[in-house]
Amino acid sequence: MKLVIKFIKTVDAISEVFGEIAMYLVILTVTIGFYNVAARYIGKYIGLTLSSNVFIELQWYLYSLVFFLGFAYILKHDVNVRVDFFYEKFSEKVKATINFWGNLLFMIPFSVVGIIVTVPPVLYSWGRLPNGTWGPWEMSPDPSGLPRAPIKSMIIVSFVMLTLQFVAEVIKSYIVMRGHTLEEYGLEEIHEDVEVH
């Protein structure tokens, strides 16, 4: 059991780090977006090109990273959007049972399939050709654009981390289903409030 608890704590810690990075990337994304808009208008006014596709695509990439890195964090803190009206009225044990079976039967397989279907396009983006040889990276079709392979690779990282977090949540739910609390094992509560930075 100690190994399982260590696994959960490790996955939770990585999700926290990814979540923190995502929060700072929001600030960076907004800053670059502001620069792109300001540079376009100022450049038009003074007759110079002050921005380029690098900054525009960097803004898109950072925006994508906010989601890729934030998925597991959101799952860990259970702040995903729920559209049901009954779930909140259930006891913690019933919630844990719903989460256990939902994550085990639907979300873990979904994440695993996400990894499987994403690997070939990502490898192709890195230059792996259908005949097994390697060619150049996939690049942006726009002038001065960025390579596509690194950002596409983050899709796999995101799905792997999401899968690990789903497994951790399944184990947490199982603990609660068995009538124990997460605090007994030195784990955080699933339904804790997220501190806004």
| Chain segment 63-116, per-residue pLDDT in tens | 999 999 999 999 999 887 776 778 888 999 999 999 999 999 999 999 999 999
Please give the tally of structural domains in the chain.
Answer: 1
Q: What is the pLDDT confidence band of residue 194, given thresholds at 50, 70 and 90?
A: very low
Q: Is residue 190 part of a domain?
A: no
- Is there a domain that residue 52 lies in? yes
CA separation for the pair 191, 92 (Å, rounded): 9
Cα separation of 149 and 137, whole Å? 7
Give yes or no for residue 183 having a pLDDT over 80. Answer: yes
Structure tokens that stand for 62 in this block: 């950072």
The span from the CA of 46 to the CA of 141, in Å, is 28
Residue 99 falls inside a structural domain: yes
- Within 10 Å of residue 136's Cβ, how many Cβ atoms? 9
- pLDDT over threshold 60, residue 193: no
Q: Which domain holds residue 19?
A: 2-185
Segment 147-163 shows an average pLDDT of: 97
| Reported pTM | 0.88
CA triplet 114, 25, 125: central angle to 5 degrees? 40
For residue 147, list its beta bridge partners. 139
In a domain? residue 195: no
**41 domain residue, yes or no:** yes
Q: Has residue 166 been placed in a domain?
A: yes
Asked, for residue 197, whether it belongs to a domain, the answer is no
- Token pair 């996955």: residue: 11
Distance, CA of 197 to CA of 195 (rounded, Å) = 6
Residue 57 resides in a domain? yes
DSSP 8-class letter at 143: T
Counting residues of the chain whose pLDDT is more than 70, the rounded percentage is 95
Q: Are 146 and 57 in contact (CB under 8 A)?
A: yes
Bridge partner list, 128: 134
